[in-house]
């Protein structure tokens, strides 16, 4: 009897319902495309299998940018957080970063509910096992483990850490995905058959400990900020002033380190059992002890995982040591002497791709219509994943709809830096966002993410008209007020000097501009309202922007000049089909790199390691000759 093969038809297939997959699915469905979101288990939708926070240095910027583009992460965490803090508040505005502790279960549940309510979106619990392409190398559908064919116009792969995943601690190695979820064992082979180059990366997570067995009196309590600042530009600040949950700080000590050193030979990392490349930015505790042997102690944060659970996350002590070492190790830490482990720490290995195979829209160069995002692209972090998911989702939709793709360059957003780094630079470990990666960071602040990106979100169709109008109004007010302040002169009157003296600021002998006064370190826009009788009553976010733009005007102007320079070569596009073997005079190393990475612009080419300025000049000349010839 012939086997009956079920065939389904949708516009877009999203593989994986983690942070990347959720954003990708929502973006496509919101743009009116029939979308199916595949997940290994509906219980793992938007799961946070590692740390319980969203945001933090540079990651908070990503969340704000996701919001400006019309994504979901910011709104979701605003309604499900336990505690929130603005990091680096004493530093410049560019590095202020919002970070929230999440109620993991609540976050997942809310995201799942949002997906369920979304028109044009269906959730399907099923393992995707392969991709189908036609003779032109264009994606036509995917197959599932049951043999069903899902015909589609585009697919976004967001498989996270599930592909051929293996969880390891000590000599225990279990073929599961994160949190003991079932791993996906077939898709890698199909991708390899289609010529896609895979990498194997590794990451890890610490133990979860029963809060009832923790002595918090031996730790330092850390509370959230009051008032709380929401992530989403759309969230009403009054909604997020909740009763917050504390985090606790404690430290490892010599005893901890001694124990680890004695048992190093039992670590799968050092015995060679783990072959994947691990991230340097979140080393396991045994790694820290080996690499920074001079440090007598390391910080350990004990963080809540949710309101409805006693499970505490032991931040700073991820490990892949065997069980007996883990039990003893955690108990050396003050406050954890009697700790009972709920879940052991483990390392996880998984398949991901070499992201240099992607174009600037996150589409595979080799397979048209196939996009990818998140940890599958070799990144790490919930925020990095969500940002990529949104970006890839929008671009998959734009392709199907025949509309102009979404592009964000390095001067426009951290997302732009993230995308460009992934497709331009060789990546040997899970890629994490950092403020030092953004060269124009004075312009890429978390406070102005809407000013930078909301327009793009509106043009893509994810930002609704009413929100867009509110944004235009905010922008207009900011611009008008900056203009007014820049024209304003303050006389050396008695009342002005009285105010200045009271603010410990040098009194004026002659008149000064208001902008000059605002730029004084001890003053700012808000403080000077006392000597500015005509100042309009403006919302706080408008005031903040006005203050930053005026106070840091000199620095901002310098960065804008750098951006002008950068844009010039960024706008010189390289034709897709260019054959680098036909470009004479390129050095071999440069030719090889250009062939592999296939940059979209001269600017991107110039950022490739191994391509020097002379190679770039040579390339420009070649392009000029060819375009002139083709015009004739």
Interface with other proteins (CB under 8 A)? 51, 57-58, 87-88, 90-92, 94-95, 249, 279-283, 288, 291-292, 295, 298-299, 301, 315-316, 425, 434-437, 439, 441-442, 521, 555, 559, 568, 583-585, 587, 609, 612-615, 617-618, 620-622, 624-625, 628-629
The per-residue DSSP string of 349-384 comes to EEEEE-GGGB-TTSBBSSSBTEEE-GGGGTB-SHHH
Least spacing, CB of residue 473 vs other proteins, in Å = 31
Least spacing, CB of residue 429 vs other proteins, in Å = 9
Closest CA to 152 of 16, 279, 9, 335: 9
Q: Which residue has the tokens 């998984």?
A: 350
Least spacing, CB of residue 462 vs other proteins, in Å = 30
Q: What is the 3-state secondary structure (H, E, C) of 466-505?
A: HHHHHHHHHHHHHHHHHHHHHHCEECCCHHHHHHHHHCCC
The DSSP letter of residue 249 is: E
Which residue, 41 or 627, is less far from other proteins as judged by CB? 627
Alpha-carbon Rg for the chain, nearest whole angstrom, is 26
Least spacing, CB of residue 434 vs other proteins, in Å = 6
Which residue, 262 or 522, is less far from other proteins as judged by CB? 522
Least spacing, CB of residue 616 vs other proteins, in Å = 10
Least spacing, CB of residue 619 vs other proteins, in Å = 9
* Helix 465-487 vs helix 449-460: crossing angle, to nearest 10: 150
Which residue, 23 or 421, is less far from other proteins as judged by CB? 421
Which residue, 51 or 188, is less far from other proteins as judged by CB? 51
Which residue, 129 or 446, is less far from other proteins as judged by CB? 446
* Helix 59-68 vs helix 382-401: crossing angle, to nearest 10: 30
Alpha-carbon distance of 131 to 343, in angstroms, equals 35
Q: Say if residues 463 and 72 touch (Cβ distance below 8 Å).
A: no
Least spacing, CB of residue 424 vs other proteins, in Å = 11
Which residue, 92 or 322, is less far from other proteins as judged by CB? 92
Vertex 438: Cα angle to 480 and 368 (nearest 5) = 105
Vertex 631: Cα angle to 616 and 607 (nearest 5) = 15
Which residue, 361 or 559, is less far from other proteins as judged by CB? 559
Q: Say if residues 366 and 151 touch (Cβ distance below 8 Å).
A: no
Alpha-carbon distance of 16 to 124, in angstroms, equals 10
Interstrand relation of 97-102 and 53-55 (parallel, antiparallel or unpaired): antiparallel
Least spacing, CB of residue 584 vs other proteins, in Å = 5
Least spacing, CB of residue 280 vs other proteins, in Å = 4
Least spacing, CB of residue 562 vs other proteins, in Å = 9
Alpha-carbon distance of 200 to 354, in angstroms, equals 9
Least spacing, CB of residue 617 vs other proteins, in Å = 5
* Helix 254-262 vs helix 323-331: crossing angle, to nearest 10: 170
Least spacing, CB of residue 95 vs other proteins, in Å = 5
Which residue, 510 or 631, is less far from other proteins as judged by CB? 631
Closest CA to 423 of 498, 354, 516, 330: 354
Which residue, 125 or 249, is less far from other proteins as judged by CB? 249
Q: Which two tokens stand for residue 284?
A: 């396991």
Alpha-carbon distance of 503 to 495, in angstroms, equals 12
Least spacing, CB of residue 336 vs other proteins, in Å = 16
Which residue, 495 or 627, is less far from other proteins as judged by CB? 627
Alpha-carbon distance of 225 to 62, in angstroms, equals 20
User: For residue 402, with 0-12 CB atoms within 10 Å meaning exposed, 13-18 middle and 19 or more buried, which class applies?
Assistant: exposed
Which residue, 91 or 212, is less far from other proteins as judged by CB? 91
Which residue, 92 or 461, is less far from other proteins as judged by CB? 92
Closest CA to 205 of 84, 325, 19, 48: 48
Spell out a b/e string for 309-335, using b for 16 or more CB atoms within 10 Å of the CB, else e.
eebbbbbbbbbbbbeebbeebbbbbeb
User: For residue 385, with 0-12 CB atoms within 10 Å meaning exposed, 13-18 middle and 19 or more buried, which class applies?
Assistant: buried
Which residue, 132 or 618, is less far from other proteins as judged by CB? 618
Q: How far is CA 300 from the centre of its chain?
A: 24
Which residue, 113 or 567, is less far from other proteins as judged by CB? 567
Determine the 3-state secondary structure of 149 from DSSP.
Answer: strand
Least spacing, CB of residue 503 vs other proteins, in Å = 15
Least spacing, CB of residue 277 vs other proteins, in Å = 13
Which residue, 251 or 365, is less far from other proteins as judged by CB? 251
Vertex 444: Cα angle to 441 and 450 (nearest 5) = 175
Closest CA to 260 of 250, 251, 252: 252
Q: Which two tokens stand for residue 442?
A: 């004075």
Residues in Cβ contact with 490 at an 8 Å cutoff, skipping those fewer than 6 apart: 496, 508, 511, 512, 513, 514, 517, 531, 532
Least spacing, CB of residue 87 vs other proteins, in Å = 5
Which residue, 206 or 393, is less far from other proteins as judged by CB? 206
């Amino acid at each position: 009897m012939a086997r009956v093969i079920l065939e389904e038809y949708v516009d877009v297939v999203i593989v994986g319902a983690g942070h990347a997959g959720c954003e990708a699915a929502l973006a496509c469905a919101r743009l009116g495309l029939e979308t199916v979101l595949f997940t290994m288990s509906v219980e793992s939708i938007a799961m946070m299998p590692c740390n319980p926070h969203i945001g933090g240095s540079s990651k908070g910027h990503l969340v704000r940018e996701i919001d400006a583009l019309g994504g979901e992460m910011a709104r979701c965490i605003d309604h499900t957080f336990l505690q929130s803090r603005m990091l680096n508040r004493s530093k410049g505005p560019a590095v202020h970063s919002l970070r929230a502790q999440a109620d993991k279960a609540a976050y997942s549940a809310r995201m799942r509910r949002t997906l369920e309510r979304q028109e044009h979106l269906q959730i399907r619990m099923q393992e995707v096992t392969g991709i189908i392409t036609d003779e032109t190398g264009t994606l036509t559908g995917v197959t599932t483990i049951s043999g069903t064919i899902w015909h589609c116009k585009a697919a976004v792969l967001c498989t996270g850490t599930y592909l051929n995943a293996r969880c390891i601690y000590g000599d225990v190695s279990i073929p599961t995905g994160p949190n003991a979820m079932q791993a996906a064992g077939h898709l890698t082979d199909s991708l390899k058959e289609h010529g896609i180059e895979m990498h194997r990366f590794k990451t890890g997570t610490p133990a979860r400990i029963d809060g009832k067995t923790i002595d918090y009196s031996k730790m330092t309590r850390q509370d959230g900020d009051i008032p709380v600042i929401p992530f989403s530009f759309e969230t009403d600040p009054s909604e997020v002033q909740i009763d917050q949950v504390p985090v606790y700080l404690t430290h490892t000590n010599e005893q901890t380190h001694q124990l680890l050193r004695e048992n190093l030979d039992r670590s799968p990392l050092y015995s060679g059992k783990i072959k994947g490349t691990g991230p340097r930015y979140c080393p396991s505790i045994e790694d820290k002890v080996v690499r920074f042997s001079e440090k007598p102690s390391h910080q350990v944060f004990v963080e809540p995982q949710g309101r409805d659970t006693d499970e505490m996350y032991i931040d700073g002590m991820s490990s892949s040591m065997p069980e007996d070492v883990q039990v003893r190790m955690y108990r050396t830490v003050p406050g954890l002497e009697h700790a009972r482990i709920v879940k052991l720490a483990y390392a996880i290995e998984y398949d991901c791709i070499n992201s240099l195979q992607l174009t600037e829209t996150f589409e595979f160069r080799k397979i048209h219509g196939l996009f990818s995002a998140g940890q599958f692209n070799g990144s790490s972090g919930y925020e990095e994943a969500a940002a990529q998911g949104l970006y890839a989702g929008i671009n998959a939709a734009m392709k199907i709809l025949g509309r102009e793709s979404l592009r964000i360059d390095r001067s426009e957003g951290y997302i732009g830096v993230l995308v460009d780094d992934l497709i331009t630079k060789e990546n040997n470990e899970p890629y994490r966002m950092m403020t030092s990666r953004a060269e124009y960071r004075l312009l890429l602040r978390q406070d102005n993410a809407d000013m930078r990106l909301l327009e793009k979100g509106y043009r893509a169709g994810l930002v609704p008209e009413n929100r867009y109008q509110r944004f235009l109004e905010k922008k207009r007010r900011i611009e008008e007020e900056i203009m007014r302040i820049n024209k304003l002169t303050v006389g050396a009157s008695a009342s002005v000097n009285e105010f200045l003296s009271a603010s410990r600021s040098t009194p004026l002998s002659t008149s000064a501009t208001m902008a000059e006064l605002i730029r004084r370190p001890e003053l700012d826009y808000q403080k000077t309202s006392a000597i500015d009788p005509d100042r309009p009553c403006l919302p706080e976010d408008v005031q903040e922007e006005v203050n930053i733009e005026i106070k840091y005007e000199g620095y901002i102007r310098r960065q804008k000049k750098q951006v002008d320079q950068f844009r010039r070569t960024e706008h010189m596009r390289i034709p897709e089909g260019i054959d680098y073997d036909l470009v004479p005079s390129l050095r071999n190393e440069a030719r090889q790199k250009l062939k592999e990475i296939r940059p979209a612009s001269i600017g991107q080419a110039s950022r490739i390691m191994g391509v020097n300025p002379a190679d770039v000049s040579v390339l420009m000349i070649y392009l000029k000759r060819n375009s002139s010839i083709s015009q004739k």
